[in-house]
A = this chain, B = another copy of it.
Amino acid sequence: MSKPRAVVLVSGGMDSCVTAAIANLEYNPAFLHINYGQRTERRELKAFRALADHFGIGKRLIAELTHLNKIGGSSLTDKNIRITKADPEKLFQAVKNEIPTSYVPFRNANILSVAVSWAEVIGAQKIFIGAVEEDSSGYPDCRKEFYDAFNTMIDLGTKPETKITIVTPVIDLKKSDIVIRGKELKAPFELTWSCYRNEDIACGICDSCALRLHAFQIAGMEDPIPYLIRPKYN
């Protein structure tokens, strides 16, 4: 019997790479990528394509949410807000009520809405997203309660016969456990991209690089992508 269809949100980072590897075990994935004017849009798209090729994905959709860039309000999309050097003390302590400057207002609801529209048309019943609550450093739209509320809203806003659920397989994992899970599944970390700052060689010092390097170090595994500098994060 053929595997059921699922939509997988693939930014091109390590969390979405491992999420895709998990989805791939039981589903026939369709890959969705979102351009929203993030600083490293071009580089993320390259990672998305490499991952889709790796997993042999025929059904792909790239959606342009240019309004998120027009609206601004985030250091990820607004070039007037600077990307700061990671402050490890703050970063690894998950200050729950402090929203980082990289928060893109209501981004995940925009992204998931695209996924639901697509899923309804192609007949997918699951949407996989690699949101992480534990180490998310305070994004409100990465919390389990948010996804539960989103699922209720989907149920009420789609056709009666449509049954679509958001699945968050890594939401409870620490980032280091995601590395370990990815290793077990032979997830192609070498194809992924996480850096907020550069597009050629990862900087090693922005929040995203710091979280990633920290996770690989705890997992006792070498991160296979090159870095400009590769600090030890403890």
Number of interface residues of A (CB under 8 A): 44
Interface positions of A from 58 to 78, Cβ below 8 Å from B: 61, 63-68, 70-73
Q: Is A188 part of the binding interface, using a Cβ–Cβ cutoff of 8 Å?
A: no
Determine the chain B residues whose CB is within 8 A of the CB of A114 once the complex forms.
67, 110
Q: Is A56 part of the binding interface, using a Cβ–Cβ cutoff of 8 Å?
A: no
Q: How far does the alpha carbon of A156 sit from the alpha carbon of B187 in the complex, in Å?
A: 31
Determine the chain B residues whose CB is within 8 A of the CB of A97 once the complex forms.
160
Copies per assembly = 2
Contacts A64-B64, A121-B71 given: A109-B157 contact, CB under 8 Å?
yes
Q: Which residue of B lies closest to A97 (CB)?
A: B160
Q: Is A229 part of the binding interface, using a Cβ–Cβ cutoff of 8 Å?
A: no
Q: Which residue of B lies closest to A99 (CB)?
A: B159
State how many angstroms separate the Cβ of A105 from the closest Cβ of chain B.
4
By secondary structure, the A interface counts as helix
CB of A140 within 8 A of CB of B158, answer yes
Q: How far does the alpha carbon of A117 sit from the alpha carbon of B112 in the complex, in Å?
A: 14
Q: Is A113 part of the binding interface, using a Cβ–Cβ cutoff of 8 Å?
A: yes
CB of A118 within 8 A of CB of B159, answer no
Contacts A67-B63, A70-B63 given: A141-B157 contact, CB under 8 Å?
yes
Interface positions of A from 93 to 116, Cβ below 8 Å from B: 97, 99, 103-110, 113-114, 116
Q: Mind listing 19 A-B residue pairs with CB under 8 Å?
A: A61-B70, A63-B67, A64-B67, A71-B117, A99-B159, A103-B159, A105-B121, A105-B158, A106-B113, A106-B154, A108-B157, A109-B157, A110-B110, A110-B114, A110-B117, A141-B156, A141-B158, A149-B153, A149-B157
